[in-house]
Amino acid sequence: MIAPGSRLDDGLLEIVIVEDAPPLEILVNVPRLYLGGIERFRRYRRIAAPEAVLTGPAPFAHHRDGEPEAGSDRLEVRVQPLALAVLVPRRTAEDPTGPFIKA
Has residue 48 been placed in a domain? yes
Size of the chain in residues: 103
What pLDDT was estimated at residue 102?
63
Whether the CB-CB separation of 68 and 61 falls below 8 Å is answered with yes
What percentage of residues in the chain have a pLDDT greater than 70? 97
Show the domain range for 70.
Answer: 13-94
Q: What does DSSP say about strands 51-64 and 44-49: parallel, antiparallel, or unpaired? A: unpaired
Has residue 5 been placed in a domain? no
> In sequence order, which residues have a C-beta less than 8 Å from that of residue 76 and are 6 or more positions away?
51, 52, 53
Has residue 1 been placed in a domain? no
What pLDDT was estimated at residue 23?
93
Has residue 3 been placed in a domain? no
Instruction: Give the C-alpha separation, 32 to 25, whole Å.
Output: 12
pLDDT band with cut points at 50, 70 and 90 for residue 103: low
Mean pLDDT, residues 93-102 taken together: 76
Has residue 68 been placed in a domain? yes
What's the total number of domains in the chain?
1
What pLDDT was estimated at residue 24?
94
What pLDDT was estimated at residue 9?
78
Structure pTM? Answer: 0.63
Mean pLDDT, residues 68-87 taken together: 86
